[in-house]
């Protein structure tokens, strides 16, 4: 008479009993002793071998020991104003990867025209129990916005970090690019190429990054060209951070006699190229164009775009570190971590045309 089969059935997760170490060892291609060391958390096993054994557990349907289970530390919200501008997907990718490596699950919430507002997205994330929130270029960057919304968020015990757009009215860590330095790099480059009539195309003046770029522009024009602020300000045009916005701003700057245009985003810079070509002007032989961000694929435009690189990887990782410190109970100080940009010279800038 045969004995009954006492092996666990494959109907559900199973515990890796000693009797089954042989199955796991065969599946993983290692010895039973190695399997035992992994399951008991003992040293002497490489990381690769350890992962192979754990994978074998999963394949055979055994439950991992509690100490070896990968836990999700929770949800973290990421709010961006849009995704059409490539800079925001770039931030989302870096931040998402950094959070995932730390065991958190990123939740991306994006505003859309006529859709949810930043406040509504924040409320949605809080209702879902996020451990913290990262804001990229949000209302904190708008000097006319009511910052009490952030005070209320902090009062509810939700940690948050703000990217680009420092405000001394918001008690939170900030991570920013040095906007003044970004414009100084562009102006210095263009002046070295012989340009004297340089324009600046950027977004609405109420935003902190815009104000800082203007400050950098006025200081650089005074330093390099001895141009007074009133004259330099006539070379500043406000528009939208879109291709069409850059085109409209550049049209006005070309009318003012500018031979070079610095744009506050790569999308605007593509609009500047379109504006120049619409007038039959060659880029860069007759008009030089500088962008800002160094967005993905921008090196492959026609011509490849000279731009000021936004240090997105470093900024995104710093923002995640600051937020995780807050979540872990170590509040970061109310301060601004400022990151320096880098000028990337390509084919959209050249020597100023001869008069």
How far lies 257's CA from each of 193, 197, 235, 241, 260, in Å? 17, 7, 9, 22, 9
Condensed to tens digits (0 to 9), the pLDDT of residues 220-273 reads 999 999 999 999 999 999 999 999 999 999 999 999 999 999 999 999 999 999
Domain 74-177+312-339 in CATH 2.60.40.10: no
Architecture of the domain delimited by 179-310: 3-Layer(aba) Sandwich (3.40)
Question: Do the two domains 14-68 and 179-310 of this chain adopt the same fold?
Answer: no
- For residue 219, the model assigns a pLDDT of 98
Q: Say what the pLDDT of residue 67 is.
A: 61
Measure the CA–CA gap between 115 and 265, rounded to whole angstroms.
24
Alpha carbon separation from 317 to 1, 130, 197, 198, 339 (Å, rounded): 66, 19, 38, 34, 12
Question: Which fold does the domain 14-68 belong to in CATH?
Answer: 434 Repressor (Amino-terminal Domain) (1.10.260)
Q: How confident is the model at residue 106 (pLDDT cuts 50, 70, 90)?
A: very high
The domain limits of the chain are 14-68, 74-177+312-339, 179-310
- Cβ neighbors of 181 (< 8 A, separation 6 or more) are 216, 340, 341
Work out the burial of residue 142: count CB atoms within 10 Å of its CB; fewer than 13 is exposed, 13-18 middle, 19 or more buried: middle
pLDDT in tens, 75-84: 999 999 998 8
Q: pLDDT digits over 158-184, tens only?
A: 999 999 999 999 999 999 999 999 999
Q: What is the pLDDT of residue 73?
A: 67
The model's pLDDT over 113-164, given as tens digits with 9 standing for 90+, comes to 778 899 999 999 999 999 999 999 999 999 999 999 999 999 989 999 999 9
Q: Go through 101-128 and write b for each residue having 16 or more CB atoms within 10 A of its CB, e for each that does not.
A: eeebebbebbbeeeeeebeebbeebeee
pLDDT of 27 reads 86
Task: Report pLDDT digits (tens) over 26-72.
Answer: 888 999 899 888 888 777 778 778 878 888 887 787 777 766 655 45
Q: How confident is the model at residue 4 (pLDDT cuts 50, 70, 90)?
A: very low
State the pLDDT at residue 332: 74
Q: Which residue has the higher pLDDT, 103 or 237?
A: 237
Kindly report, residue by residue over 263-314, the tens digit of the pLDDT: 999 999 999 999 999 999 999 999 999 999 999 889 999 999 999 999 999 9
């Amino acid at each position: 008479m045969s004995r009954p089969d006492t092996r666990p059935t494959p109907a559900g997760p199973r515990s890796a009993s000693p009797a089954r170490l042989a199955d796991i060892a065969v599946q993983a291609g290692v010895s039973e002793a190695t399997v035992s060391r992994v399951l008991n958390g003992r040293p002497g096993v490489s990381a690769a071998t350890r992962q192979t054994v754990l994978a074998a557990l999963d394949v055979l349907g055994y439950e991992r020991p509690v100490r070896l289970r990968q836990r999700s530390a929770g949800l973290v919200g990421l709010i961006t104003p849009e995704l059409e501008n490539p800079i925001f997907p770039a931030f989302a990718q870096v931040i998402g990867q950094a959070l995932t490596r730390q065991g958190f699950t990123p939740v991306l919430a994006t505003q859309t025209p006529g859709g949810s507002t930043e406040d509504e997205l924040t409320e949605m994330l809080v209702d879902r129990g996020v451990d913290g929130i990262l804001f990229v270029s949000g209302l904190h960057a708008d000097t006319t916005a009511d910052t009490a919304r952030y005070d209320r968020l902090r009062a509810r015990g939700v940690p948050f970090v703000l990217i680009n757009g420092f405000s001394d009215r918001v008690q939170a860590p900030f991570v920013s690019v040095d906007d003044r330095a970004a414009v100084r790099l562009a102006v210095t480059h263009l002046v070295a190429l012989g340009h004297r009539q340089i324009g600046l195309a950027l977004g609405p003046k109420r935003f902190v990054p815009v104000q800082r770029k203007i400050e950098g522009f006025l200081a650089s024009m005074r330093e390099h060209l001895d141009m007074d602020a009133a004259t330099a300000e006539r070379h500043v045009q406000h528009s939208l951070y879109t291709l069409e916005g850059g085109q409209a701003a550049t049209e006005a700057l070309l009318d003012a006699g500018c031979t070079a245009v610095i744009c506050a985003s790569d999308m605007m810079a593509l609009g500047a190229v379109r504006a120049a070509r619409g007038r039959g002007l060659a880029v860069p032989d007759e008009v030089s164009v500088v962008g800002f961000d160094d967005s993905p694929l921008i090196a492959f435009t026609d011509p490849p775009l000279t731009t000021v690189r936004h240090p997105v990887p470093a900024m995104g990782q710093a923002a995640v570190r600051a937020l995780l410190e807050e979540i872990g109970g170590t509040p970061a100080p109310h301060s601004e971590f400022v990151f320096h940009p880098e000028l990337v010279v390509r084919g959209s800038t050249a020597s100023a045309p001869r008069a």
